[in-house]
């Protein structure tokens, strides 16, 4: 496995992140400690060093297992965890983006992890009730205290991320270095605003659900073909997404690899700063996904996958890229200008 610089930082992280949301069985569908150890060993043996967890995953068990797994070689691994989601129902200050919840969540996470610091601390989801200034100053304080090394933001509107990092830059506070969002062949709406923003702000982009909740592995197509029942209310199983999954399966047959490897290879081809977060329930599933680093899709295969999954860019992108508007904006010189942006 190769390594990437995490956004504008000098931190080196592996090109695939190990998602630990399945670490623990409290939610009824995760993995046992024994299986988690097997997955961790497979990931480490492949050169992986970037582990993603959160304070709410499996009611805190995920952090405990991650801490146990990295303890013997803590310095080698880049451990990321998150705050925002509730830790006690009914307590208005036991959730949200504000300083009080941030501080008490981090202290609880450090205890479960058995660590003095975390390498990357994520805001998990925007709550629309806390000012960006409070969030960025509080995160900066945690960095200055040595309890957090780098900070990132997940599941937050692009305009808020941009504003928060601009405020941090103007005031000399610690900047965000990474963005975490859902991104896959069946979820490409993030290409409208998030990807251009990440490139402009030098943010690493870690992609959750890169296999579309399993839809891109082709397993639901197999169930469909076998007469199995699909849940129509699941948006990931729409007819459009099944069409995309069929294209992934076809390309996998041509490339001599698995559909999961094709889906991950397509995602990794979308930009140097994109890092898939790969979760699994078994070591076998994880090894299959890790095999994607050896898969290179042809230009034709990438084009076919792009075509079947393409989205409408929406306003103002489609408006600004239309020939009449380009004509009046550039005065007929658009095709004469070499652009590096």
Report yes or no: 150 and 177 within 8 Å, Cβ to Cβ: yes
Chain segment 186-204, per-residue pLDDT in tens: 999 999 999 999 999 999 9
Split at pLDDT 50, 70, 90, the class of 235 is low
Q: Which CATH number fits domain 3-217+259-297: 3.30.70.930, 3.40.1590.10, 3.20.20.100, 3.40.50.10600?
A: 3.20.20.100
Q: Give the pLDDT score at 231.
A: 55
Distance CA(135)–CA(98), nearest Å, equals 6
Average pLDDT for 274-300: 97
Chain segment 162-172, per-residue pLDDT in tens: 999 999 999 99
Average pLDDT for 121-131: 98
How wide is the angle at C-alpha 195 spanned by C-alphas 190 and 197, nearest 5°?
115
Chain segment 30-82, per-residue pLDDT in tens: 999 999 999 999 999 999 999 999 999 999 999 999 999 999 999 999 999 99
Helices (H), the chain: 33-45, 61-70, 99-113, 132-144, 158-171, 194-201, 219-225, 239-255, 259-268, 283-290, 299-309, 317-320, 323-330
Whether the ω angle into residue 316 lies within 30 degrees of 0, i.e. cis, is yes
Helices and strands in the chain, H and E counts: 13, 10
| Residue 236 pLDDT exceeds 70 | yes
Please give the helix or strand (H or E) that residue 12 lies within, else none.
Answer: strand 12-14
Q: Which residues are catalytic?
A: 57
Q: What is the DSSP letter of 174?
A: P
Domain boundaries, the chain: 3-217+259-297
Distance CA(132)–CA(153), nearest Å, equals 12
Average pLDDT for 139-152: 98
31's tokens:
């993995």
Sign of CA dihedral 80, 169, 203, 206: positive
Q: Nearest Cα to 203, choosing from 257, 161, 266?
A: 161
Q: Which residues are CB-contacts of 105 (< 8 A; sequence separation ≥ 6)?
A: 55, 83, 84, 87
Split at pLDDT 50, 70, 90, the class of 284 is very high
Average pLDDT for 293-311: 97
């Amino acid at each position: 496995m190769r390594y990437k610089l995490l956004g504008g930082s000098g931190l080196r992280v592996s090109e695939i992140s190990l998602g630990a949301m399945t670490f623990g069985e409290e939610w009824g569908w995760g993995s046992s400690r024994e299986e988690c150890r097997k997955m961790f060993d497979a990931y480490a043996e492949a050169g992986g060093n970037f582990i993603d967890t959160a304070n709410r995953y499996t009611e805190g068990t995920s952090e405990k297992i991650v801490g146990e797994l990295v303890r013997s070689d803590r310095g080698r691994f880049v451990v990321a965890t998150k705050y925002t989601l509730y830790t006690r129902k009914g307590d208005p200050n036991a959730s949200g983006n504000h300083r009080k919840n941030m501080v008490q969540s981090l202290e609880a996470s450090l205890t479960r992890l058995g660590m003095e610091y975390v390498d990357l601390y994520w805001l998990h989801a925007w709550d629309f009730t806390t000012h960006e200034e409070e969030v960025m100053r509080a995160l900066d304080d945690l960095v200055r205290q040595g309890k957090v090394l780098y900070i990132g933001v997940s599941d937050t509107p692009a305009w808020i991320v941009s504003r928060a990092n601009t405020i941090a830059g103007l005031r000399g506070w610690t900047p965000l270095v990474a963005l975490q969002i859902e991104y896959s062949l069946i979820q490409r709406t993030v290409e409208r605003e998030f990807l251009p923003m990440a490139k402009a702000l030098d943010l690493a982009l870690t992609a959750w659900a890169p296999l579309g909740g399993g839809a891109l592995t082709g397993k639901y197509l197999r169930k469909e073909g076998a007469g199995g029942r699909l849940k129509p209310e699941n948006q990931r199983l729409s007819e459009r997404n099944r069409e995309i999954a069929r294209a992934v399966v076809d390309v996998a047959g041509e490339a001599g690899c698995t559909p999961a490897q094709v889906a991950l290879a397509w995602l990794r081809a979308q930009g140097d700063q994109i890092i898939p977060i790969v979760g699994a329930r078994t070591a076998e599933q994880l090894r299959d996904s890790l095999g994607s680093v050896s898969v290179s899709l042809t230009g034709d295969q990438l084009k076919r996958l792009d075509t079947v999954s393409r989205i409408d860019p929406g306003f103002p992108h489609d408006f600004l890229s239309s020939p009449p508007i380009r004509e009046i904006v550039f005065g007929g010189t658009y095709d004469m200008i070499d652009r590096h942006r």
